[in-house]
Amino acid sequence: MDVSSDSITPQQLDELIDLIKKIHGFDFSDYTKASLKRRVNRIMMLKKLEYYDLKHVLVNDHQFFQEFLEEITVNVTEMFRDPNFFKALNSQVIPYLSTYPHIKIWCAGCSSGEEVYSLAILMMAAGLTPKSFIYGTDINTVVLKEARKGIYSLRKIKSYAENYSFTGLDGSIIDHFTMLYEAATIHNELKHNTLFSVHNLISDDVFNEFQLISCRNVFIYFETGLQERILELFYNSLCPHGFLCLGSKETIRSDVFKKKFKVINQKENIYQKIGS
Amino acid sequence: MIQRWRNSDILLLGGSAGSFKIIFQAVKGFSSELNKTVIIIIHRKPNFFSEIEKLFTDNIRMKFREISDKDHIDTNTVYIAPPNYHTLIEKEGFFSLDVSDAVWYSKPSIDVTFENAAEIYKDRCTAILFSGANQDGAEGLLKLRNSGALTIVQNPDDAEMAVMPNSAISINAAEYILRTTEIFELLSI
């Protein structure tokens, strides 16, 4: 039996990557292949497209490409994912950050905004809201719209509530939302100091100087060479002694960057930029 | 069957509720020179701060590691999938992780890793599916079987939760259905 009948071959995936780069200018060539392949297969299944049909619509249908882009980038996120990370931020990083006159935070690959608002809640709990500002960026304009709204389903909030309860923060996550029927809207005071905009980690450059960059569970989709290029971007975007947070299962593997960052928390992958 | 197990470079172990003890026992029996890579996919709760890592590290003879993104896949090592991620295998010989939606309410999903392993390892692997309360793993095991892997399902009579083994058996994903003792016996050869 042919197992690959419902799945594209590595060669076909390469062809698609090439095509998308040429026609739409998005470069997926340094994405990890197993995950990318899984996403493409999923789109073909959802849209009931064979490989050749997929190629055809990708070339001819611009609207389809937008949908494709939304599906191909993973937008699954949570508030307070890995509660121990937020605990570590609170005890090891916030005291240091509080000594800066202004705290600019960049949440790279922010998807629908959950991480941005989690950080906003953390800053508020530390009394740092008046001097902090959080930028959320993503390549996907649709999720950014969601992020700006800050409205989440009650079902989601319930699952975030458990995470919150493990962070050691006071009260409950619902203290930060206004509930209406099945929707929960983040309080305005938490939205004030946030800005969401499009930024492509692969092709866009430094746009500000930050005291903290959080980019968690984004590197998992990139091959190590690309990870290194983005580390360079982060390094250049951080102020001296600024902090970089990666996902709990992502590490700095490059020897060059191991020397440029000090490990603040090994388990939660919190780093601090060395020198200037 | 024995020859194919011997020739396998990769052993995949999948399970959910009721599988942990048996998988732990099986791995405990391996010598440090098994000459295979063992990959364990067990459903785990994200915020359940388990002692699994310590239990394995302290009690087994093979090297043990909870998978991190882009970890190189080494022989004579036991890997366990981290909670709240899907574990994928890249053909260049390293793991990559994925946070996309749960499959059968499960993350890690056994199906995701098994299907991916079928494409990469083909007949170079042995896969065993144990006790569990949902059907995750069945489809993946079928893909493995169709790509030439040796596929084994724990006899549902021996499984604490029979749903997972039964799901695999019902779609003909099991080349062999073995009692727990028979599984231990095979793995000790």
Does residue A232 surpass a pLDDT of 80? Answer: yes
Q: Do A249 and B85 touch (CB under 8 A)?
A: yes
Q: How far apart are CA A50 and CA A137, in angstroms?
A: 33
For A82-222, list the strands marked E by DSSP.
103-108, 132-138, 151-153, 177-180, 183-186, 194-198, 210-215
Q: Which residues of B belong to the active site?
A: 16, 43, 136
Q: Is A156 on the interface with B (CB under 8 A)?
A: no
Does residue A5 surpass a pLDDT of 60? Answer: no
Summary mean pLDDT of chain A: 93
Query: What is residue A70's predicted lDDT score, i.e. its pLDDT?
Result: 85
Query: What is residue B186's predicted lDDT score, i.e. its pLDDT?
Result: 95
Instruction: Tell which wins on pLDDT, B23 or A72.
Output: B23
Q: Do A35 and B98 touch (CB under 8 A)?
A: yes
Q: What is the CA radius of gyration of chain A?
A: 20
End-to-end CA distance of chain B: 11
Query: What is residue B13's predicted lDDT score, i.e. its pLDDT?
Result: 98
Q: Is A187 on the interface with B (CB under 8 A)?
A: no
Query: What is residue A275's predicted lDDT score, i.e. its pLDDT?
Result: 76
CATH class of B2-171+180-187: alpha beta
Non-local CB neighbours of A70 within 8 Å, separated by 6+ positions:
A140, A142, A143
Q: How far apart are CA B76 and CA B11, in angstroms?
A: 11
Query: What is residue B131's predicted lDDT score, i.e. its pLDDT?
Result: 97
Chain A residues with CB inside 8 Å of B108's CB? none
Element (H, E) at B87: strand B86-90
* pLDDT band at residue A75 under the 50/70/90 scheme: confident
Query: What is residue B59's predicted lDDT score, i.e. its pLDDT?
Result: 94
Non-local CB neighbours of B54 within 8 Å, separated by 6+ positions:
none
Distance from CA of A81 to the nearest CA of B (A): 9
Q: Is B140 on the interface with A (CB under 8 A)?
A: no
Query: What is residue A71's predicted lDDT score, i.e. its pLDDT?
Result: 87
Which ipTM was obtained for this model?
0.89
A47-62 tens-digit pLDDT: 999 999 999 999 988 8
Distance from CA of B128 to the nearest CA of A (A): 19
A109-151 tens-digit pLDDT: 999 999 999 999 999 999 999 999 999 999 999 999 999 999 9
Query: What is residue B49's predicted lDDT score, i.e. its pLDDT?
Result: 59
Query: CB under 8 Å, gap of 24 or more: what pairs does A151-158 form?
Result: A151/A183, A151/A184, A151/A185, A151/A186, A152/A79, A152/A112, A152/A114, A152/A177, A152/A183, A152/A184, A152/A186, A153/A182, A153/A183, A153/A184, A154/A179, A154/A182, A154/A183, A154/A184, A155/A182, A156/A184, A157/A79, A157/A184
Which among A33, A70, A83 is positioned nearest to A220, based on CA atoms? A33
Q: pTM for the whole thing? A: 0.92
Which of B69, B90, B91 comes nearest A249 by C-beta? B69
* pLDDT band at residue A160 under the 50/70/90 scheme: very high
Domains of chain A, each with CATH number or no CATH? 3-72 (no CATH), 83-151+187-273 (3.40.50.150)
Which among B189, B187, B152 is positioned nearest to B26, based on CA atoms? B187
Instruction: Tell which wins on pLDDT, A67 or A210.
Output: A210
Q: Amino acid identity, residue A228?
A: E
B54-73 tens-digit pLDDT: 889 999 999 999 999 999 99
Q: How far apart are CA B31 and CA A40, in angstroms?
A: 40
Which residue is closest to B68 within chain A, CA to CA? A249
